[in-house]
Structure 1
Amino acid sequence: MKSKFHIYCKYMFASGLASTVISCSNTRFLKEGQMLYTGAEVKIENDTISKKEKKELQAALEENLTPKPNATILGLRPKLYFYNITSEPKKDKGFKYWLKYKLGEKPVLLGDVDREFNKDIIQNYSENRGYFNAQATYDTISKNKKAKVIYTVRPGAQYLISNVKFQQDSTLVNQEIQNLKNKTLLKNGKPFDLDVIKAERDRIDNGLKEKGFYYFHSDNIIVQADSTVSKNHKVELNVKLKDNTPALATEQFSIDKVIVFPNYNIQDVKKGKYKIPMDTDSLAQYAYDDIYVIDPEHKFKPKIFDRALYFKKGDLYNRTNHNLSLNRLISLGVFKFVKNEFIVSDSLQHKFDSYYLLTPRQVQSLRLEALGRTNSASYAGSELNLNWTHRNFFRGAEQFKAAVFGAFDVQMGGQSDAKNMYRAGANVQLSIPRIVAPFRFHSSSAFVPRTNITLGYEFQNRTQYYTLNNFTASFGYVWKENVRKEHDLKVIDITLVSPANVTDLFRQETLGNPAQQRIVDKQLIFGPTYSYTYTNTMEPRTNTFYYKGTLDLAGNITGLVTGANVKKDKQKNIFGVPFSQYAKIENDIRFYHKFSEKTNFASRLIAGVAYPYGNSDQIPFSRQFFVGGSNSIRAFRARTLGPGSFDPRTLPQGFAFDQAGDIKLEMNAEYRANLYKFLNVAAFVDAGNVWLINDVEGRTGGTFSKDFLSEVAVGAGVGLRLDFSILVLRLDLAMPVRVPYYEKGDRWTFDRINFGDRSWRKDNLVLNIAIGYPF
């Protein structure tokens, strides 16, 4: 104990010494008369505003000051240190250049700080927040070749809005402005705020765009402030149209003709193929209802544009329908570029034609994918996928996808009679850009709803054990309410698993192990599935959120009609195959926090339960939960963990990868940081497990109980991510720190960690190589 204490003392002393050296050594690189700028502080002297308002004003003012001092970590400036200790590189590339100018950071000196300019910024910002009498001074404090600037602000009293007037006149545009004033952002009693005034101008502009004023702009609005008509620091606001507003901005436009060019190409325009605008007689041959589709080669059915476009002849222009039409055209998935132009056709009647210039994507594409993998059981494998996509299958923007694949996993360097795995299969999907149903489905979303039909087959052969034939089919709908909310409903989702060539060897090795025997059970799973996704992760926020909930109901109506009850009677069959009956729900919740442009925190919680009843006493193996692997608990290999405290080491080697459960709980946390351009690092902790609802022979400790928390596995590690834009190559090195199948009370493994032991490293360090982030 004493020797460890001495080691800790030495470590702390060395760390402190290193910190002191780095901190002090930066100033020794300064030239005579130079001082390192360490930042600025704003002090506010005002007794009339609250502490909260003072704190908010102080933070805003400090944020606007320039330049920013050199970055610090725990009070140190390592980036500046790397810059200082690296000599000037001879070339603008190479390791030395990267170390000095990319990893390193040039010193920010006091001479770089324009204190008068910052003082003006402080006064202007304060005035924009209603402190019209703000005064600022500054003072410089220096010591040991370091300097900081203290800015003292005396903002005075903040001016409040006493009255808001919307100036009236007889013009049509002014009448519409008057209709918008009830929802004004400018409220009596609120502080004068330039940002709020700008937001009010934008609000009026947006409102007018909805009423046909296409050429109007927020700059056409002026808000006049008068602080002389009221006492006690009050200001009156007058909202009016600028005197020099262009006449075109005050006119209300409606749609004359809607013209679509679905094969638009800029190169053909240069050759004179497109002449815009076209005369009415020329357009007549392309008329479809209220639109004109210029498609001489008939590559697209005109009705797809009738569904996607919200503008019709005679409609008053509004921005909502403008944006909806563009977004729906893009979401069809068949156009690479979408351009919209409005050209005045009748200036007296205030009408314009709406042109849609659409550049198609490549109609067909063929993609070949290959990947390799290995695992700790000396298995190596490869997979080959060939994918073909047609984006306009029936000339109605239908997407047809077909794929064939083959894969194998073979034991390398092992015995010749190893149980190798071979897989092959094919699947097809037809995605129709509308809801195909006996009922009418109307969506005002910017996203086109889709009907998806899929068929698939997979052949699995585990040599010397069994062969499985898997057939899948589904029919359903996908639609989005908006950019955040998406629904995916499969009205019918069918899976048929048919075993063949089950060997005596397999039956012998799984004797007394029903969980493994179920792998080769005949299974018929059918019923609806529904998932709902909500996310705002695409928005530029500090905190973002993702949620996906999935509900899977199998065999419920059939089980009710047939009166199936496996506890009282034999399983009911359909065409000689017992059908599964269960209810399954899964929730995936993710939270992201952005510390800075280069650092962020990501977390995930997954909770799910699958309950068998009626015609089933167990959940089908293919629909159970699994944990472990590169996108789950990374310290444990895929499907080797659980259920509960069951020890997978007691199983034959080939079956240690097939652990499943009916209940799943998983938690992940990850700190991510960018080091340099494409190079990112991470530190993570994963925890979780799966459990069984009913007792299963051969799975001792696998049933869910009140002690489930003691059976949670924990892993931790570090990762390296190479972000090449088109893909992210991820390497995560993890180790278990809590193993649920160890003896209770002895499951934490911190005291067993020994990086210097080769045997320990082989058994505990797990390298995951994957594409993309885990969550």
Structure 2
Amino acid sequence: MKRNTFTFSKYFLTAVLAGIFLSCNTKYLAEGEMLYTGAEINIVSDTIKKKDKKELKAALEDNLVPKPNTSFLGLRPKLFFYNITKEPEKDKGFRYWMKYKLGEAPVLISDVDREFNKDIIENYSENKGYFNVRATYDTVSKNKKAKVIYTVHPGARYLISNVSFPADSSVINQEIQKTTDKTFLKKGDPFDLDIIKAERERIDNSLKEKGFYYFHPDNIIVQADSTVSENQEVELIVKLKDNTPPLATEQFRINNVIVFSDYDIRRRANRTYEIPMHSDSLTTHIYNDIYVVDPDKKFKPIIFDRALYFKKGDLYNRADHNLTLNRLISLGVFKFVKNEFVVSDSLNHQFDAYYLLTPRELQSLRLEALGRTNSANYAGSEVNLNWTHRNIFRGAEQLKISTYGAFDVQIGGPKDANNLFRAGANAQLSIPRIVAPFRFQSSSAFVPRTNITLGYEFQNRTKYYTLNNFNTSFGYVWKENVRKEHDLKLIDITLVQPANVTPLYDSIAVTPALRRVVEKQLIFGPVYTYTYTNTMLPRTNTIYYRGMLDLAGNLAGLLSGANAKNGNQKEIFDIPFSQFAKMENDFRFYHKFTEKTSFASRIIAGIAYPYGNSEYIPFSRQFFAGGSNSIRAFRARTLGPGSYDPRNNNGFYFDQSGDIKLELNAEYRANIVRFLNVAAFADAGNIWLVNEDTSRPGAKFSKDWLSEIAVGAGVGLRLDFSILILRLDLAMPLRVPYYEKGDRWTFDKINFGSSQWRRDNLILNIAIGYPF
């Protein structure tokens, strides 16, 4: 009986609220005003297909203006907030925000130009091949609301009967003829003005690759003849306009290439550039036929020879034009890159190519905050202080030195699972070319780089130990395009030295796994990382993928004949070097519902296998689970491996590491207003060992791995201040892998009223940036 009463009350309350919203939509309208509720398109035709009719209707509705007030389930909450808020006295403050930002002014029927919309319907339909279209409209009103019904009679859609490209003896026509097999205009396709425009762009793009710099799509005319057939067909004739400027029909070649390496952007746009064309000039340097104007000798001329794809005598093409501009920008040393072509020999159809480059500040000091995961698998938030010199040796080499402090803070859960604090410094020299004994050819818009790094990191696990992590690497980074990036470290060396191991840790580190955490570690070998992403594109669905392969100590182990299992373990500087193979994959999928709502998901799968000189994966290269960027319902690195129960260690929670990792995260994100965002999320996953560890029963990967998956969920608050995103995620465990096998789901244990339950199960993650 109580349940029925509650259900009735719930529906009654919903009905009352709906009535309030609906009544307030028209209550505030003046006498004679009517709220516009939208338009309806009725297509009347027996000759067009059902699919075509549906597409035409959707397109016509999308083109009508204005749009009615935003509605949700038949309600108009934004209009409601506009109506109930008094007119603000100033263009700021809470009242202004509520009325004009949260609220929305009413769209009235008097705002709708029905005749204009009728013309839009007829014009759009004709552009899509419905040449004999006719449209009418009618207005229907009731209770101070009105909508417009448009009735459309489109007739049959015209199809393309033939496409011709008339030929002549001109050079430009011959180039057009070479590409006719790639035309977008196909016999039997519907007439479509948008396709015709795309065909003109296609021809223009093709001619731009053949030296026709001054050509324009408007120089092409597509004539449509509908008199050739009585069966609703049209013939298309594609040709040059008679009034095409002569300059547009000529192929141009590059004469001189001139670079202003310190150009003042404030100069007048119509300035005439006077370049001293002789080698003894104090301001101009000639390098491989490139004139470099650099009075202060800020840059070595060779960097422009590497970046510029145009050479003296080359036929102009747009691909090299854009490629050169992109490579100049990707050098990272120029703030503005401007390009101009000036005709220098009209008789021989030649022009000079000018590159006007405005350098950035060569040195900068920046403070930044971010969330990151480093090579040793530590995840959390970080504050960096960076000093950068973008031209340290006059060849666009970038030297970056940074110091940082980082933390991984979670509040709640096991009280002895202490937080991690990190601090360190690193230096990176990035050279804008591949420094190698072989020649590296790249036609990418991005300049390949050689990176040399040197770093130190101090890691403190509160109350237990500290680790000193030294790292150096040498390798290459290059991009195929904006989506694909390769990072190959030919040598990546890590030396881990433990320090300040506390008596508390010694007293509880009774297992081999816990002792290995504070052992010296020497790791060296190549590391390759491949990244693919299209998240920068304006798409509904985007993806991100990062794959990593780490091969440590393989050559040294092979040459030395190392075999740790047989007692033949080799050392360097009295430290056994590590030998293993590790692979990790990080795949993310993003779906955009609206401008303010989206869905994000991530799958991480990785495995590390020790062999040769190692029986175990070094602690700093193992996988970890739990934390603000991982499974948020468990404290940082306290989850797993497998079904191992960390409470077996006298109530202490340590860094739990594994050789196999599987993790899945999903998150719904929504923007409430301006900088305020909320999220609802769920995380699942765990880590496992490759080999048996008697001190950690249940840690090895087995056929029961699926039953050992941990699950957590929660809600988040994100404060997006553009330069800083502060994230607060509150999570709780829904499935705990180290509980008894039939009792791992925790739904029956949830008790928000219990303070003890809240302390043990509600985990507050404080972080900077999004988790993925």
Whether TM exceeds 0.5 here: the answer is yes
Q: State how far apart, in whole Å, the 1-side matches of 2:262 and 2:205 are.
A: 32
Alignment match, 1:307: 306
Question: Is the alpha carbon distance of 1:165 and 1:418 closer, same or farther for their aligned partners in structure 2, counting shifts above 3 Å?
Answer: closer
Query: Which of 659, 675, 694 lines up with 2:656 in the alignment?
Result: 659
1:308–1:328 CA contact under 8 A, matched in 2: yes
Q: State how far apart, in whole Å, the 2-side matches of 1:135 and 1:397 are.
A: 64
Question: Is the alpha carbon distance of 1:712 and 1:464 closer, same or farther for their aligned partners in structure 2, counting shifts above 3 Å?
Answer: closer
Alignment match, 1:100: 99
Matched, 1:631 2:648: no
Alignment of 1:609-648 (within 5 A): 609-648=607-646
Tell me how far 1:575 sits from its aligned partner: 3.2
Query: Unaligned regions of 5+ residues in structure 2, if any?
Result: 373-379
Question: Is the alpha carbon distance of 1:170 and 1:552 closer, same or farther for their aligned partners in structure 2, counting shifts above 3 Å?
Answer: same
Q: State how far apart, in whole Å, the 1-side matches of 2:418 and 2:536 are.
A: 45
Alignment of 1:435-514 (within 5 A): 435-460=434-459, 466-500=465-499, 502=501, 505-511=504-510, 513-514=511-512
In structure 1, the residue corresponding to 2:356 is in which secondary structure?
strand
Instruction: State the Cα deviation string for residues 245-285 of structure 1 (Å, max 9, x = none).
Output: 22221221111111111111234x4799x861324348865
Tell me how far 1:499 sits from its aligned partner: 3.0
2:409–2:767 CA contact under 8 A, matched in 1: no
Query: Which of 679, 683, 686 lines up with 1:682 in the alignment?
Result: 679
Alignment match, 2:377: none
Q: How many positions carry a matched residue from both structures?
A: 759
Alignment of 1:224-243 (within 5 A): 224-243=223-242
1:498–1:523 CA contact under 8 A, matched in 2: yes
Alignment match, 1:601: 599
Alignment match, 1:46: 45
Matched, 1:167 2:166: yes
Larger CA deviation: 452-461 vs 618-627 = 452-461
Instruction: State the Cα deviation string for residues 24-60 of structure 1 (Å, max 9, x = none).
Output: 3323233333332222222222233322222211111
Tell me how far 1:9 sits from its aligned partner: 4.1
Tell me how far 1:658 sits from its aligned partner: 1.0
Tell me how far 1:500 sits from its aligned partner: 4.5
Instruction: State the Cα deviation string for residues 201-241 of structure 1 (Å, max 9, x = none).
Output: 00111111111111111111111111012220110111111
Q: State how far apart, in whole Å, the 2-side matches of 1:600 and 1:221 are.
A: 42
Alignment of 1:210-249 (within 5 A): 210-249=209-248
Query: Which of 707, 713, 716 lines up with 2:713 in the alignment?
Result: 716
Tell me how far 1:453 sits from its aligned partner: 1.0
Q: Which amino acid aligns with 2:186?
A: K
Matched, 1:699 2:699: no
Q: State how far apart, in whole Å, the 2-side matches of 1:474 and 1:8 are.
A: 65
Larger CA deviation: 487-496 vs 464-473 = 464-473
Tell me how far 1:406 sits from its aligned partner: 5.8
Alignment match, 1:324: 323
Q: State how far apart, in whole Å, the 1-side matches of 2:692 and 2:321 are.
A: 60
Q: Which amino acid aligns with 1:769?
A: I
Question: Is the alpha carbon distance of 1:57 and 1:676 closer, same or farther for their aligned partners in structure 2, counting shifts above 3 Å?
Answer: same
Alignment match, 1:400: 399
Q: State how far apart, in whole Å, the 2-side matches of 1:327 and 1:345 are.
A: 25
Tell me how far 1:365 sits from its aligned partner: 1.8
Q: State how far apart, in whole Å, the 2-side matches of 1:119 and 1:237 are.
A: 28
Q: TM-score, normalised by structure 1?
A: 0.92
Instruction: State the Cα deviation string for residues 151-190 of structure 1 (Å, max 9, x = none).
Output: 2222111111111111333332222222222211111111
Alignment match, 1:543: 541
Larger CA deviation: 9-18 vs 304-313 = 9-18
1:515–1:697 CA contact under 8 A, matched in 2: no
Q: Which amino acid aligns with 2:631?
A: I
Instruction: State the Cα deviation string for residues 324-363 of structure 1 (Å, max 9, x = none).
Output: 0000011111111111111111121111111111111111
Question: Is the alpha carbon distance of 1:12 and 1:283 closer, same or farther for their aligned partners in structure 2, counting shifts above 3 Å?
Answer: farther
Alignment match, 1:582: 580
Matched, 1:116 2:142: no
Q: State how far apart, in whole Å, the 1-side matches of 2:672 and 2:698 are.
A: 44
Q: Which amino acid aligns with 1:394?
A: F
Alignment match, 1:33: 32
Question: Is the alpha carbon distance of 1:134 and 1:406 closer, same or farther for their aligned partners in structure 2, counting shifts above 3 Å?
Answer: closer
Tell me how far 1:439 sits from its aligned partner: 1.1
Q: State how far apart, in whole Å, the 2-side matches of 1:538 and 1:749 are.
A: 39
Question: Is the alpha carbon distance of 1:191 and 1:409 closer, same or farther for their aligned partners in structure 2, counting shifts above 3 Å?
Answer: closer
Alignment match, 2:361: 362
Question: Is the alpha carbon distance of 1:647 and 1:4 closer, same or farther for their aligned partners in structure 2, counting shifts above 3 Å?
Answer: farther
Alignment match, 2:347: 348
Instruction: State the Cα deviation string for residues 702-730 of structure 1 (Å, max 9, x = none).
Output: 22222222222222222232333323232
Question: Is the alpha carbon distance of 1:41 and 1:383 closer, same or farther for their aligned partners in structure 2, counting shifts above 3 Å?
Answer: closer
In structure 2, the residue corresponding to 1:710 is in which secondary structure?
helix
Q: TM-score, normalised by structure 2?
A: 0.92
Q: State how far apart, in whole Å, the 2-side matches of 1:148 and 1:23 are.
A: 16
Tell me how far 1:305 sits from its aligned partner: 0.5
Alignment match, 1:208: 207
Tell me how far 1:18 sits from its aligned partner: 1.9
Alignment match, 1:376: none
In structure 2, the residue corresponding to 1:199 is in which secondary structure?
helix
Question: Is the alpha carbon distance of 1:740 and 1:18 closer, same or farther for their aligned partners in structure 2, counting shifts above 3 Å?
Answer: farther
Q: State how far apart, in whole Å, the 2-side matches of 1:161 and 1:645 are.
A: 67
Alignment match, 1:553: 551
Q: State how far apart, in whole Å, the 1-side matches of 2:718 and 2:280 are.
A: 55
Question: Is the alpha carbon distance of 1:641 and 1:589 closer, same or farther for their aligned partners in structure 2, counting shifts above 3 Å?
Answer: same
Tell me how far 1:678 sits from its aligned partner: 2.7
1:262–1:359 CA contact under 8 A, matched in 2: yes
Instruction: State the Cα deviation string for residues 96-125 of structure 1 (Å, max 9, x = none).
Output: 111111101111222222222212111111
2:408–2:636 CA contact under 8 A, matched in 1: no
Q: State how far apart, in whole Å, the 1-side matches of 2:735 and 2:717 are.
A: 23
Tell me how far 1:673 sits from its aligned partner: 2.1
Q: Which amino acid aligns with 2:680?
A: A
Q: State how far apart, in whole Å, the 1-side matches of 2:713 and 2:410 are.
A: 29
Question: Is the alpha carbon distance of 1:699 and 1:400 closer, same or farther for their aligned partners in structure 2, counting shifts above 3 Å?
Answer: same
Q: Which amino acid aligns with 1:264?
A: Y
In structure 1, the residue corresponding to 2:766 is in which secondary structure?
strand
Alignment match, 1:16: 15
In structure 1, the residue corresponding to 2:742 is in which secondary structure?
coil
1:410–1:418 CA contact under 8 A, matched in 2: no
Q: State how far apart, in whole Å, the 1-side matches of 2:621 and 2:202 are.
A: 51
Question: Is the alpha carbon distance of 1:716 and 1:160 closer, same or farther for their aligned partners in structure 2, counting shifts above 3 Å?
Answer: same
Larger CA deviation: 539-548 vs 107-116 = 107-116
In structure 2, the residue corresponding to 1:286 is in which secondary structure?
strand
Matched, 1:761 2:751: no
In structure 2, the residue corresponding to 1:455 is in which secondary structure?
strand
Alignment match, 1:280: 277
Question: More relative contact order in 1 or in 2 (CA 8 Å, sep 6+)?
Answer: 2
Tell me how far 1:613 sits from its aligned partner: 2.2
Tell me how far 1:313 sits from its aligned partner: 0.4
Q: State how far apart, in whole Å, the 2-side matches of 1:178 and 1:318 are.
A: 18
Tell me how far 1:675 sits from its aligned partner: 2.5
Q: State how far apart, in whole Å, the 2-side matches of 1:553 and 1:294 are.
A: 47
Larger CA deviation: 442-451 vs 244-253 = 244-253
Tell me how far 1:191 sits from its aligned partner: 0.7
Q: Which amino acid aligns with 1:709?
A: L
Tell me how far 1:652 sits from its aligned partner: 5.9
Q: Which amino acid aligns with 2:397?
A: E
Query: Unaligned regions of 5+ residues in structure 1, if any?
Result: 374-380
Matched, 1:260 2:259: yes
Larger CA deviation: 24-33 vs 211-220 = 24-33
1:283–1:292 CA contact under 8 A, matched in 2: no
Instruction: State the Cα deviation string for residues 691-750 of structure 1 (Å, max 9, x = none).
Output: 222222432332222222222222222223233332323232323222323333333333
